[in-house]
Amino acid sequence: MSHHPRKRFGQNFLHDPAVIGRMVQAIAPRPGDSVLEIGPGHGALTEPLLERLGELTAIELDRDLAPRLRERLGPALTVIEGDALDQDIAALASPADGGRLRVVGNLPYNVSTPILFHLLGAAEHIEDLHLLLQREVVDRMVAGPGSRIRGRLSVMVQYRCRVERCFNVPAGAFHPVPKVMSSFVRLTPYRALPHPAANERILQEIVTAAFGGRRKTLRNSLRRWLTGTAIESAGVDPGRRAETLEVAEFVQLANVAAGEFVAN
């Protein structure tokens, strides 16, 4: 195959059949599932998924790869040529199965976080997501309260989804070999959020501000949003640091901030 991997498209192709087999097993595709693959590349994952599903839709940015995939895998595969960030994910969900998509992908590492947040913007249309990401990104996604690496990504992903690391993948499973390790992660958006925020935009702002001053106490980092007394009224000690908080506590802070916002 005379395709030179393109760095600007984050192309590191999977070639280890054992790793691909474990990924397919973790996804557990069932015939009738509507599956969307982001970045099929040469089809390392697409082909075994298609065998089990019968049909599949994929979004591929590299216009040289899309026709090759169609030729090799036939009409059962629908390839959308374009940027995953531009796609209306809700519109791709099929009403036949309640409109919920299963999303899979070995994401291009250079844009994995924007793609993830784009997908999560349509979380109510997504059954689950199985993503191969930089291990360091997955470490942050699963980091719980008290972890030094807990940050905005941890809290916003855990607000919306159950997060499970399936397994780690060594760099040698890819061509070209990336500099970093990878992890395969399963995200399952909650049908009903365990701790819904009154205003999600305010939650995002509060979480961003809280982690903006990483070494700071909440009293300092949230100064522009909440007084120490308001933080206490949310049931949170203003002397704590952001990385020690549960998702529910961020939601309590955001709800107090939303209340004050309305009151003023």
Size of the site for ligand SAM (CB under 6 A): 24
* Shorter beta-carbon distance to ligand SAM: residue 15 or 214: 15
Distance (Å, whole) CA 199 – CA 225: 14
Give the containing element (helix H, strand E) for 255: helix 247-263
Task: State yes or no: residue 120 binds ligand SAM (CB under 6 A).
Answer: no
Residue 161 as a binder of ligand SAM (CB under 6 A): the answer is no
Stretch that binds ligand SAM, among 81-89, 123-131, 157-165, 203-211 (CB under 6 A): 81-89
> What DSSP element (H or E) covers 246?
none
Rounded to a whole number of angstroms, the minimum distance from the CB of residue 45 to ligand SAM is: 5
In the chain, the amino acid numbered 176 is: P
- With CB under 6 A as the contact rule, which of the stretches 12-20, 157-165, 202-210, 253-261 interacts with ligand SAM? 12-20
Among 34, 35, 49, 60, binds ligand SAM (CB under 6 A): 60
Cβ atoms within 10 Å, residue 262: 9
In angstroms, give the least distance from the CB of 3 to ligand SAM.
10
Q: Which residues contact 182 (CB under 8 A, 6 or more apart)?
A: 132, 133, 134, 135, 168, 169, 170, 171, 173, 174
Q: Least distance in Å: CB of 218 to ligand SAM?
A: 36
Decide if residue 238 touches ligand SAM (CB under 6 A).
no
* Residue (65 or 129) nearer to ligand SAM, CB: 65
The yes or no reply on residue 64 touching ligand SAM (CB under 6 A) is no
10: left (phi over 0), alpha (psi -120 to 50) or beta: left
CB 130 within 8 A of CB 26: yes
CB 221 within 8 A of CB 152: no
* Contact set with ligand SAM (CB under 6 A): 9-14, 38-42, 44-45, 59-62, 65, 83-85, 106, 108, 111
